[in-house]
Structure 1
Amino acid sequence: MQSSVIALPPSTPFLKARKPLNQNPIIRFTTLVLSSSSPRSLDLTSGHGASSCSRSSQLYSSSRFSSWISTPSLVSDRPKNDISVKAASVSESADESAKSNSIQTLVLGTLFGLWYLFNIYFNIYNKQVLKVFPFPVTITTFQFAVGTVLVIFMWTFNLYKRPKISGSQLLGILPLAIVHTFGNLFTNMSLGKVAVSFTHTIKAMEPFFSVILSALFLGEIPTLLVVSSLLPIVGGVALASLTEASFNWAGFWSAMASNLSNQSRNVLSKKFMVKKEESLDNITLFSIITIMSFILLAPVTLFMEGVKFTPSYLQSAGLNVREVCVRSLLAGLCFHAYQQVSYMILQRVSPVTHSVGNCVKRVVVIVTSVLFFRTPVSPINSLGTGVALAGVFLYSRVKRIKSKPKTA
């Protein structure tokens, strides 16, 4: 008797040998699900109804069994939550950093504004006092005295931390205090002889002295770009000097000596720097230099000019005592304030950026002094001053380009 055979593809899953019924239910459930997922799982022909029903009941029971078993999800929601939390924290930190940068920028801009403002008023009040009281050594000593009182006040009431100074530190700071004293003394001597604008035009030659002294004492040979930037500075100062209405040799050489002293201070600060573990911050260093300058200059004042800053002497000279004292005090306060702020800025920016800010400050002081004192300025004199200041700005840019590879 001929039997009928149903030919099915060899890949049909349920033709494989079936395991006993006491097999692990999870494995059996997986097998049944794979069988039911095949597109050709059943051939609904006559004579196989029982088989189909049995498989249907198995599928039903397996589906009920699958509802009892909680299978883990292939994709967890936890990483998504972690990513969202991390993204939120990153955005919050970015907002905080942006807010912090904006606050720092605002503080730095305020310091620059105060630096320029105090410097303007110092030059105005100082010039007014020196016009009627031509004793620059006494005036300089008085300004150091005002600064000394302010420093002691800050240390006494803990407005700024009082430093612990060793003998080696004082020896290292002493040369800086000496050249700092000479620098401010020569500046006052120049301001007493010539116009404020002309003094600051001559003081624009500070980069020239810086390059010369660095080459002589530190062995820093200037590049061709640096030397090229010095040419308009020297040429501009020479052109302005030839056409300056208030030109005076004493005022000219005093300003040049001030340049030499101030730049010697920068060179000495590199050469006589104290040990790194004992180093002082800029504000503390300036405070100590101020006190030492007052101690150094006070006996020199008594020897050279005597005691001149008294009410009796001012009255005998026909001066308004109150007006002279008030303006001298304001000049001393502004003198200490603008230098203190300058050191605070130097703690926040690079020396090159500070140099650029100093160049802009000199432009502001020259313009405001010309307007306030109505100083006569010829077109050639203005051209010379502009060329010199442009050279200072160019020098600052060259120094910035030179310093980029070191900071990279």
Structure 2
Amino acid sequence: MESRVLSGSTTLHGLPPLRRRLSTSAPAASFSTISRPIGTVGDGGNLIWGRQLRPAILLEASPVHPLSPVTKRETRLRPCPAAASSPAGGSESAGDAEVGFLEKYPALVTGFFFFMWYFLNVIFNILNKKIYNYFPYPYFVSVIHLFVGVAYCLVSWAVGLPKRAPIDGNLLKLLIPVAVCHGIGHITSNVSFATVAVSFTHTIKALEPFFNAAASQFILGQQIPLALWLSLAPVVLGVSMASLTELSFNWTGFISAMISNISFTYRSIYSKKAMTDMDSTNLYAYISIIALIVCIPPAVILEGPALLNGGFTDAIAKVGMTKFISDLFWVGMFYHLYNQIATNTLERVAPLTHAVGNVLKRVFVIGFSILVFGNKISTQTGIGTAIAIAGVAIYSYIKAKMEEEKRRGKAA
């Protein structure tokens, strides 16, 4: 799930640490009373923002227990007389020495995150389609995607990486609609992947911005500028052109991809109403757990009998037990990891970079799927796909610029 967590707090590296002069008569405990937890609203707070989860809500600060690790660490801080009396140059040298490689080359680190995001996403799409070629049960495979991800999250919580965030009834009520839409969108996406070419599914899913704009205008009552609507015209035109001559076209794949677009649109609407101070890793874990519960019943009802009457045995006969289990495990891992890396990537960049990154990701997936599976596409399909992707790029650019201007206006 491609979500984003923006932190308003910033850190200046390379500057000498500032120290407050304390009078000798002040009690030692008074130093700890002026400290406060990093990440509170006063420091800029946190803002959930992303394609998969977009609640544009400023998060409330969580109270810190007096005996929490943060407070304990801060109460141990004491002014260093030697450093205070040392020359300014010595203090700056110590500050420079503490700057690590990740802080010194942030652009290189961000580029690595983008590479891993694209790489994992491409591998997931290719492996996912290969599984459907010998095991055409998208509802069951969708459950496996989420099950492996949930197992990964539970193991991570067990070892404390990350520490599990508590959840209550109020937060659960906010996350259930988001998770239900996520589960429906995930299943219908996989139904489309199983029945048509991967490139065609991603071309149809390029219509997602159109559904988002329509929902914002007619459901949320937000006025969408004419320029944004005009930028969506080539998206609709391109998808229509590609659909008319797509060799793998069938109505099941087309309608499933359209339902996925609608589900993800409603997910965005519900996400904007969700307010939480939970970090993105824990948030995605809880959404995955709820989505898994949502996806199990349709998989059992629609595919359970077929799986028991030869679905599993046919797949094992084609590729063997070891490869079958290995493929299911790894496709689930790649699904979870690419969504988690996408979250970590998008929280490091501005909205405009985020928009461009999402468009380029779709181009990479379409291109690699055509190369790997050797899908034959007509000239009209290729032109339509290119027009649709170009329209998404224009739309994303205009929308990101508008959001940036809106934030600057509020800041001013």
Q: Please classify the TM superposition score into its range, dividing by the shorter chain length.
A: 0.7 to 0.9
C-alpha separation in 1, matches of 2:228 and 2:161: 42
Q: Displacement of 1:110 after TM fit?
A: 1.4
Change (3 A) 1:245 1:91: farther
Q: Displacement of 1:214 after TM fit?
A: 1.2
C-alpha separation in 2, matches of 1:99 and 1:315: 51
C-alpha separation in 2, matches of 1:351 and 1:219: 23
Q: Residue 297 of structure 2 aligns with which residue? A: 299
Q: Displacement of 1:294 after TM fit?
A: 1.1
Quick one: which amino acid aligns to residue 217 of structure 2?
A
Query: Of residues 265, 268, 275 in structure 2, which corresponds to 1:266?
Result: 268
Matches within 5 A, 1:86-125: 102-125=104-127
Q: Residue 157 of structure 2 aligns with which residue? A: 155
Could you tell me whether the CA contact under 8 Å between 1:359 and 1:389 is conserved in 2? yes
Q: Residue 386 of structure 2 aligns with which residue? A: 386
Matches within 5 A, 1:202-241: 202-241=204-243
Q: Residue 81 of structure 2 aligns with which residue? A: none
Q: Displacement of 1:211 after TM fit?
A: 0.4
More helix by share: 1
What is the SS of the residue equivalent to 1:221? coil
Q: Displacement of 1:254 after TM fit?
A: 0.7
Change (3 A) 1:129 1:253: same
C-alpha separation in 2, matches of 1:326 and 1:393: 37
Where does the alignment leave 5 or more consecutive residues of structure 1 unmatched? 1-84
> Is residue 2:341 matched to residue 1:341?
yes
Quick one: which amino acid aligns to residue 241 of structure 1?
S
Q: Deviations over 1:34-58 (max 9, x none)?
A: xxxxxxxxxxxxxxxxxxxxxxxxx
Where does the alignment leave 5 or more consecutive residues of structure 2 unmatched? 1-86
C-alpha separation in 2, matches of 1:383 and 1:93: 55
Q: When the two structures are superposed, what TM-score results if normalisation uses the length of structure 2? A: 0.72
Q: Displacement of 1:156 after TM fit?
A: 0.3
C-alpha separation in 1, matches of 2:333 and 2:182: 17
C-alpha separation in 2, matches of 1:223 and 1:89: 53
Q: Displacement of 1:313 after TM fit?
A: 4.6
Q: Deviations over 1:174-221 (max 9, x none)?
A: 000100001110110001110000000111111101101111232211
Query: Of residues 177, 180, 183 in structure 1, which corresponds to 2:182?
Result: 180
RMSD between aligned residues: 2.5
Q: When the two structures are superposed, what TM-score results if normalisation uses the length of structure 1? A: 0.73
C-alpha separation in 1, matches of 2:101 and 2:396: 30
Query: Of residues 153, 168, 171 in structure 2, which corresponds to 1:169?
Result: 171
C-alpha separation in 2, matches of 1:400 and 1:182: 27
Percent identity between the two aligned chains: 38
Change (3 A) 1:282 1:216: farther
Q: Deviations over 1:218-248 (max 9, x none)?
A: 2211111101110111111111111211111
Q: Residue 248 of structure 2 aligns with which residue? A: 246
Q: Displacement of 1:314 after TM fit?
A: 2.6
Change (3 A) 1:161 1:370: same
Q: Deviations over 1:11-33 (max 9, x none)?
A: xxxxxxxxxxxxxxxxxxxxxxx
Change (3 A) 1:100 1:130: closer
Which range is displaced more, 351-360 or 130-139? Answer: 351-360
Quick one: which amino acid aligns to residue 220 of structure 1?
Q
Quick one: which amino acid aligns to residue 325 of structure 1?
I
Quick one: which amino acid aligns to residue 289 of structure 2?
I
> Is residue 2:318 matched to residue 1:319?
yes
Find the structure with the greater CA-based Rg: 1
Q: Displacement of 1:323 after TM fit?
A: 2.3
Could you tell me whether the CA contact under 8 Å between 2:197 and 2:375 is conserved in 1? yes
Query: What is the number of equivalent residue pairs in this alignment?
Result: 322
Matches within 5 A, 1:5-20: none
Change (3 A) 1:93 1:392: farther
Which range is displaced more, 342-351 or 261-270? Answer: 342-351
